[in-house]
Amino acid sequence: MKDELRCTWCGHENPPHVVECEKCGAPLKPVWETESLPRKGDAAPEVASALTEDEELRRWLAQFADEEVESVETAEVPEADETTIDEERLLEWVEQEVGETEVEAEDRAALEAWREAREAERTLSEAEEPVPLETPSAEEPPTAPSEAAVDWTAPLVGEGPAEEGPPAAPEAEGAPEAAEAGLPELEPGEVPDWMASLVGESPAEEGPPAASEAEGAPEAAEAGLPELEPGEVPDWMASLVGEGPAEEGPPAASEAEGAPEAAEAGLPELEPGEVPDWMASLVGESPAEEGPPAAPEAEERPEVVTEDRSGETLGETPLMPGSAEVLLGEEELEALLEEAAASRPAEEAEEAQAVQEDQLPEWVRALRERLAGEDEGVVLPGEEEEEPLEPVLAGPLAGIPDVLPVEPRLTQMVQPTQPVLKLVLRKEERYWAKWLERLLQTEEAPGEAGTAVERPMPYWLWRLVVGLAFMLGLLAMLVRGWGRGLPARVPSPAVQEFFYTAQSVPPGGVVMVAVDYLPAWAPEISLAAQPALRLLEARQPYYLVLSTQPFGPGLAHALLTELGVPPERIIWLGYLPGGRAGLAMLARWPKAAFPPAVQGPNPWEHPALAQWQGMSDTAMLLVLTDQPIRAREWVEQVGLLLSPETPLVFVGSAGLGPVLEPYLGHPVRGWVSGFEDAQALAGLTGHPMPANLHRLWQGAMMLGLVLAMLSGVTLAVVHRIRRRSQ
């Protein structure tokens, strides 16, 4: 057969509607395809047509079942399956309604009796299988939903079953089964009398039967329910006893229209005092509005009008068939929550806060204790104390200063302008933080760019001035003529001081000469040193030569040799390392700075140094240096420690004079700085410098001027060309 399903395990061919192999029981289809198909031993294919209609109805009901499950989950019901939830709600509803009717514990016995009747009914239904479609189950709702919403309490009040019967919500789809599965078992004594009597007298109406099983249920109920004594029945219910089963039993949903009439016809007239309050409020209501939702019609979705506890009709909301849950709008829900919050007593809030504080971690408590009152008194001088924030008196942050209040600022949904990180600061730190904040606030904004009043001199003007200076120097040389020499210079005070100091050197005295320049500057130093050394040579001194540069001894040797100083008047001390520290040591302990060699000649054993004990026995300290900074180091480290009998003089490059100017007199006793001072000193000594030195100096100056002018013009032209090209 084409539609037959072949078992992949045993090869047996099975009808297309089965999901398991009839021979071996192996699954024939995936699980998700087997839910709508009967299993092995289920109804025959003849039932397939009826199944199709059931499936449509089941899908329709499944939509509401999903909503029901979601509503239950959002209500944070403890973990339980759907049937348990519905059953518990059913029991709660029953207990609530029973409580409202002021029926005491004996009513519970009746409820238990009803539950047992349901159990018996279910047992009977299971015994009547194999037609599962006629037996409601969790998977398969009743085939006639219109009869499912049957309230067994409807005849009691003569109205719709929603007032006092078990809730019809679980009746829609598997609800009865859920109630059967999860209801707590009550003791027989807890069954109220009135309910027990109802069970015994109208078994068909007591349990919320399945619509299709309305006929089979009474037998089961009769078999399992205890018979109550007449005296156990409440008075108000006793009047109901004896009425026909059609009036007392919960009518089928499809019979909702006929129920009121039956109730009106059969209900006895109760005294006002006998009617419970909850029932009194129900009297007069239409069963269609108050009772459990009617079962849906086959084609159209039912619209169930629900009522809240205050009896106010909230509206018509599509609801799951059989569900008694009240669907509220958002506004109503908010109003209800506000009302509940407002009605909460203060004691309850305090108790909750106490419990909450007990649950706070230790560090939060410690933080609250430490920060409480810390912000008090942090006020800068001249500043009024700010109005403190309203302290937070409740919640886990209670007692912590500067906690922003919640309510007024919660709605200010703006981006914070300051970091919201709460730093833990001590009181002193907070004081300085405030101080810094105030300082920043008082700082004025910087002025706009370009508002500076001072204007630099135009660049072209600078170039013009420099160029004219060079031109004038060059013209002066040309006018005076090449090689005629410079005009006689007036010796500077430093040169005069040097001259007098050199004249004061005793004949045969010891002059310490320190060579502290590099070979590159030897020509200039040599030019400047020649007149000075010639002046000294007239006193025939002994030269105690040292150097703070490794090249110094060689340079000194070349210089003295050029001047014709005899070697026997030269005492070589050698190289003095250590920079400033070496100079300081030389000023204090010169013999320690130049210890005698273990092997070889000892400079300190020279005959000229027989009476020499230290720097105070030196007739003059002559420093030859090319760096003004080095000259200042000599002044700082040595000059300040020299006695007045030991003058300090310098011979160096042209840049030496301006730096030594403040030290003229003490400790510096003159200097010869550059070629010009050397020429002036030569004029004082009466031995003018040779003509070649004049030409050399003039040539250097003219060369420099020419090079400067040429380089300036070249740079200007290149700059102009580049700017034009850009």
Partner 1 sequence: MGLAELAGLVVALVMTVGVLSYALFGNHELFRGVAAVFVGVTAGYAAAVVMRTFVIPRLIQPFLVRHWVVVVPLALGLLLLLRGTRFGGLATPVLAFLVGVAAATLLVGVVLGTLFPQVLATWKEWSGFRVWLTPTQGMLSWLFVIAVLVAFHFGRHEDWPRALQYPFRGLRIVGRFVVVVTLAVLFLRVYQSALLALAERVLFLWETLRFLLLGP
**Which 479-498 positions form the footprint of partner 1 (CB under 8 A)?**
493
Query: 194: closest CA among 123, 94, 283?
Result: 94
Q: What are phi and psi of 5, to 5 degrees?
A: -105, 125
Residue-wise DSSP of 400-469: -TTPPPSHHHHT-----SS--------HHHHHHHHHHHHHHHHSPPPPPTT-----PPPHHHHHHHHHHH
Among the listed residues 675, 680, 681, 689, the single contact to partner 1 using CB under 8 A: 675
Of 315 and 577, which CB lies nearer to partner 1 in the complex structure? Answer: 577
- With binding defined as CB under 8 A, does residue 3 bind partner 1? no
Of 444, 445, 448, 725, the one binding partner 1 by CB under 8 A: 444
Instruction: For residues 480 and 485, give the distance between their C-alpha atoms in angstroms, rounded to a whole number.
Output: 9
- Least Å distance, CB 584 to partner 1, is 6
**Cα dist from 322 to 151, 252, 294, 302, whole Å:** 10, 12, 7, 10
| Among positions 382, 458, 481, 600, the unique one binding partner 1 when judged by CB under 8 A | 600
Residue 153: closest CA among 68, 263, 70: 263
Is residue 497 a contact partner of residue 670, using CB atoms and an 8 Å limit? yes
Q: What is the DSSP letter of 594?
A: S
Q: Which stretch binds partner 1 (CB under 8 A): 107-115, 131-139, 243-251, 656-664?
A: 656-664
Segment near partner 1 (CB under 8 A); pick from 71-79, 84-92, 501-509, 594-602: 594-602
Residue closer to partner 1 by CB (options 537, 661) is 661
- Pick between residue 55 and residue 636 the one whose CB is nearest to partner 1: 636
- Both tokens of 360, joined, read 């706070």
Residue 699 binds partner 1 (CB under 8 A): yes
Identify the residue among 155, 249, 293, 628 touching partner 1 (CB under 8 A). Answer: 628
Binding flag, residue 633, partner 1 (CB under 8 A): yes
Site string for partner 1, 445-484 (x = CB under 8 A): --x-----xx------------------------------
Among residues 494, 559, 529, 501, the alpha carbon closest in space to that of 682 is found at: 529
Look up residue 252 and give its two tokens. 């089928």
Question: What tokens appear for 475 in the block?
Answer: 């013209």
Instruction: Tell me how far CA of residue 227 lies from CA of 113, 189, 214, in angstroms.
Output: 10, 12, 21
Rounded Cα distance between 725 and 719, Å, is 10
Find out whether 24 and 15 touch, Cβ atoms under 8 Å.
no
Q: Minimal distance in Å, beta carbon 579 to partner 1?
A: 7
Site map (CB under 8 A) of partner 1, residues 497-536, x = contact = -----------------------xx-xx--x---------
Site string for partner 1, 545-584 (x = CB under 8 A): -----xx-xx-------------------xx-x-xxx--x
Give yes or no for residue 640 binding partner 1 (CB under 8 A). Answer: yes
Smallest gap from Cβ 409 to partner 1, in A, equals 38
Q: Which positions ≥6 away from 451 have C-beta within 8 Å? A: none
User: Please, what is the minimum distance in Å from the beta carbon of residue 641 to partner 1?
Assistant: 10
Contact between 680 and 493 (Cβ < 8 Å): no
Which stretches of 257-310 are DSSP H helices? 258-266, 277-280, 287-290
Q: Specify the residue, 12 or 632, whose C-beta has the smaller distance to partner 1.
A: 632
Is 199 or 576 the residue whose CB approaches partner 1 more closely?
576
What are the residues binding partner 1 (CB under 8 A)?
Answer: 444, 447, 453-454, 493, 520-521, 523-524, 527, 550-551, 553-554, 574-575, 577, 579-581, 584, 595, 597-600, 626, 628, 632-633, 635-637, 639-640, 653-659, 661-663, 665-666, 673-675, 692, 696-697, 699-701, 703-704
